[in-house]
């Protein structure tokens, strides 16, 4: 035993992670649904039942059958293949848009927390102001100027994510800066940058992971809405939102076409949200007991 009891950081979040995670119902169910989403997208890279780009008018609007498991759309394309490839658009948009928000927002949040004073004030006021532009609104601005497209949708959703991550990072980081082990690190002569990298960031990682999962779900919803409006993923690239807007014109002839893509979106979002909730409980067991 050492003579001086030095304050130590909390144990890493990975300790006993899987043991606790697998006992959490939300995490397991959400994880399975998320896995399904990723598997669908991955599978579509290698194989789909039919070519999703093949227009085949003679077999248009067919019901489910052995050849077309969920039937065909008004262009005679296979619904299952479209759904599988559509998962790709959701994942690509989600990963990049959340990535933009996570990297930029966290960097600003950490900077605000490390510098305090005016830097913090300015960053936070600018972040507040970001909330005035919901994703749809910033996407509309970008579309009006640069035209509709997947890249603009990603950028719009990404920008929308930045203030959220900045706020959460700052709030969590400020709590870490107030802890004794940071004081100890400062007493040892460490600078703000190395304290941020060695102590603050690892300790707020769990909060960021949970937030990223939930933001991923929101990004999928936003991408679907933008594609539905014709501002996101463009044809012929399949996307769930676009499938819904095409299906809406055929509600009387083929109502089920409007059901499948919506179920796909809802399951993906539900999975990510449940996984986020589960992760939060796993990372912070005190919170789970309190509820």
Partner 1 sequence: MSVFLFKRLITLVATLVGASVVVFLVLEILPGNAAQILMGPDASPEAVQALATKLGIDRPPVERYFSWVGGMLTGNLGDSYAYSTPVSELVLERLSLTVPLAVLAMAMTALIALVAGIYAASRHNKLGDVGVMAASQVGIAIPNFWFAILLILLFSVQLKWFSAGGFPGWGEGIWQGLRSLLLPALSLAVVQSAILARITRSAVLEVLREDFVRTARAKGVSERGTLWGHVLRNAMIPVITVAGLQFAELLAGTIVVESVFYLPGMGRLIFQSIQNRDLIVVQNCVMLLAAMVIIVNFVVDVLYATIDPRVKASDI
Which parts of this chain interact with partner 1 (CB under 8 A)?
Answer: 125-126, 128-129, 131-137, 140-145, 217, 221, 224-225, 228-229, 241, 244, 247-248, 251-252, 255, 258-259, 261-262, 265-267, 269-270, 273-274, 291
Distance of CA 58 to the CA centre of its chain: 39
- Cβ closest to partner 1, residue 150 vs residue 221: 221
User: In whole angstroms, what is the distance from residue 134 CA to residue 165 CA?
Assistant: 15
- Cβ closest to partner 1, residue 104 vs residue 266: 266
- Cβ closest to partner 1, residue 144 vs residue 151: 144
- Cβ closest to partner 1, residue 133 vs residue 181: 133
Shortest distance, CB of residue 39 to partner 1, whole angstroms?
Answer: 19
Q: Judge whether 80 and 66 are in contact, CB under 8 Å.
A: no
- Cβ closest to partner 1, residue 206 vs residue 273: 273
b/e 67-102 (16+ beta carbons within 10 angstroms → b): ebebbbbbbbbbbbbbbbbbbbbbbbbbebbbebbb
Shortest distance, CB of residue 102 to partner 1, whole angstroms?
Answer: 21
- Cβ closest to partner 1, residue 184 vs residue 267: 267
Omega before 213 cis (within 30°)? no
Residues pairing with 78 in the sheet: 72
Shortest distance, CB of residue 26 to partner 1, whole angstroms?
Answer: 9
Crossing angle for the helix pair 150-177 and 79-115, nearest 10 degrees?
40
Place of tokens 């960031």: 201
Shortest distance, CB of residue 65 to partner 1, whole angstroms?
Answer: 22
Shortest distance, CB of residue 252 to partner 1, whole angstroms?
Answer: 6
Shortest distance, CB of residue 275 to partner 1, whole angstroms?
Answer: 12
CA distance to 153, 172, 203, 263, per residue, from 276 (Å): 24, 17, 18, 20
């Amino acid at each position: 035993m050492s003579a001086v009891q030095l304050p130590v950081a909390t144990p890493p979040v990975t300790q006993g992670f899987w043991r606790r995670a697998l006992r959490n119902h939300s995490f397991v169910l959400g994880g399975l649904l998320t896995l399904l989403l990723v598997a669908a997208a991955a599978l579509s890279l290698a194989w789909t039942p039919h070519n999703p780009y093949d227009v085949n008018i003679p077999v248009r609007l067919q019901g489910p059958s052995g050849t077309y498991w969920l039937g065909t759309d008004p262009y005679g394309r296979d619904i299952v293949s479209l759904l599988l490839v559509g998962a790709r658009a959701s994942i690509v948009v989600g990963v990049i848009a959340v990535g933009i928000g996570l990297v930029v927002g966290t960097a600003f949040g950490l900077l605000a927390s490390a510098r305090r004073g005016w830097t913090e004030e300015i960053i936070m006021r600018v972040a507040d102001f970001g909330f005035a532009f919901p994703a749809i609104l910033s996407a509309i601005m970008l579309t009006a100027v640069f035209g509709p497209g997947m890249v603009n949708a990603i950028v719009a959703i990404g920008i929308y994510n930045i203030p959220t991550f900045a706020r959460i990072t700052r709030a969590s980081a400020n709590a870490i800066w107030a802890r004794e082990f940071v004081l100890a690190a400062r007493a040892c002569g460490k600078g703000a940058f190395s304290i941020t990298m060695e102590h603050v960031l690892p300790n707020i990682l769990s909060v960021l992971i949970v937030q990223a999962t939930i933001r991923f779900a929101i990004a999928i919803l936003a991408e679907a809405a933008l594609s539905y409006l014709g501002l996101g993923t463009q044809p012929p690239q399949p996307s769930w939102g676009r499938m819904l807007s095409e299906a809406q014109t055929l509600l009387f002839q083929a109502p089920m076409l409007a059901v499948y893509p919506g179920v796909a979106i809802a399951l993906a979002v539900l999975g990510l949200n449940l996984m986020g909730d589960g992760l939060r409980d796993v990372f912070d067991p005190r919170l789970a007991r309190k509820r």
